[in-house]
Structure formats: C-alpha cells, structure tokens
Amino acid sequence: MKLIFTFSLACIILFSCKKNNDDAAPDLNINQLEGYVISGAVIRSTGFTPFAAEFLPGQKVKLGYETFYYDSKDYVIDKDTLKVTDNIKLVIKNNKVTHYYYYSSNPYTPGSSTGDLSLNLYKKPEASKLQGKTFTGTYYNYPDGTVLHNSFYYKFAQNTNTLAAGFTIGTPVRSNPYINIGNVAAFAQLNNDRELMVWHNGRLLANYFNKGENRYQYALLNPQ
C-alpha cells in the first residue's frame, strides 16, 4: 500500500502543476538549442528519475540524469529527434519534449517513452533557481517506496555553488559543493556517492546513489 501511495503522490506532484515559466519560447528552433535547458523527471513504475540538460555552443550539452553527470556531450538533430550519447534520445514537437528513450541493453530496448514523463524545455534562466532557497520533503528508498527519511532538507547558499543538507533546518549533517547545470539543477559527487537535484515547476526533485549499499533513494521537496 505504501508503494502505491508513493508512486501516486509522485504522479500528482509532477503532473498536476501547470507550467508557469516566462522563459519558455514559442518560436523554438530545434536546430538552434544553444541557451536552452530541459528540467523535469521521467516517471518509473516506482518513483521517478530526475533529468536536466543545458545546451552549449558547438552542438554540445551538459547533462544530468538519474545520478550521472556529463560536462559536455555531443548531440545530433534528426528532424524532430535529438540524440545524446549512445543511450539517450528525445523527441521534440511543438516546443515540447514528447518522448524520452533511454537504452541500456544490447539489442537496445527503450526504457521510457511518452505518457510517463514531465520535462519542460525553455530558455536558460538568467539567475539560479536554487541559490538562496531551501527545500524540504521526504526521502524514499528505490524501488520499494519505503520511507528513508521522513524529513529532509537542502539549503542552497545565496551566491556560491554550495549546499547544506540534513534532517532539521539549521542543523546540517553535511555541507558540500555542487556543479551547476543550466541554473536549474545541481550535481554533487560525495566520495563514491552521487546526487542529482533538479528544479521543476517550483519544486526540487532529488536522486541519491548510495555506493556502499548499492541502492538509489529519491525525494520530492517543496520550497520553504
């Protein structure tokens, strides 16, 4: 029952929010993506996977997904399809990401597609959506959806790419730097652990990989 509730909550939060982004561009040219970002999540059968991309000059993209980060990857455009690395393919129609495919086996098998994603494509914000903000929420274990931490918070510093995290606001259990992705996401490497946090429709979507226990954890966090 807990698993069903958790997945339903994820869907409600991700899909019930109307997009309200003044940076969106109705005249987007898929062949000229420099200066744009994508932020959001792909819904899984249990939980979700955060995703963020920042399009750079020279047909390059800075990429964060699950708990992976790439500083600069080549991408190619084939009509309405954008291909990144050998694993990721996005379909963009009417200025929206309509399909997401992640290939993880050989022969390739699509991991996700239409109907189970919430990804926004828009101009890169001039200011960070994270700096100076605090987000709180619940952390869950993946894939069983059990509660890991009833209360967890991230507090992003005002003018630097650093954050504090813990269970009670004002009492951090750690502080660490992060890599900024398009002013909408943050990636942190914590020894062997990895962490991706993505701003999406005003909320924060987080995914954490615990290397020692070889397991993923995810969280839905609201601004304070």
The radius of gyration computed from the CA coordinates of the chain, to the nearest angstrom, equals 17
> Residue 199 corresponds to which tokens in the numbers above?
């701003």
Nearest to 198 by CA among 209, 183, 216: 183
Could you tell me the pTM of the whole model? 0.88
Placement of tokens 């993209």 in the chain:
61
> Residue 151 corresponds to which tokens in the numbers above?
């209360």
Neighbour count for residue 170 (Cβ, 10 Å): 9
Nearest to 43 by CA among 13, 71, 69: 13
Mean pLDDT by 10 residues, the chain (224 residues): 48 50 66 95 82 96 93 93 86 89 61 68 97 97 92 97 96 97 97 96 96 93 97
DSSP code of residue 32: -
**Strand spans (E) along the chain:** 36-43, 48-56, 60-65, 68-78, 81-84, 88-93, 96-102, 117-123, 134-142, 147-156, 162-168, 171-177, 179-181, 185-190, 193-200, 203-210, 215-223
Measured in degrees and rounded to the nearest 5, phi and psi for residue 217 equal: -135, 150
The string over 195-221, giving b where at least 16 C-beta atoms fall within 10 Å of a residue's C-beta and e elsewhere, is bbbbbbbebbbbbbbbeeeeebbbbbb
pLDDT at 98: 87
Cβ neighbourhood burial of 94 (10 Å; 0-12, 13-18, 19+): exposed
**Residue 204 in contact with residue 197, Cβ under 8 Å?**
yes
pLDDT at 221: 97
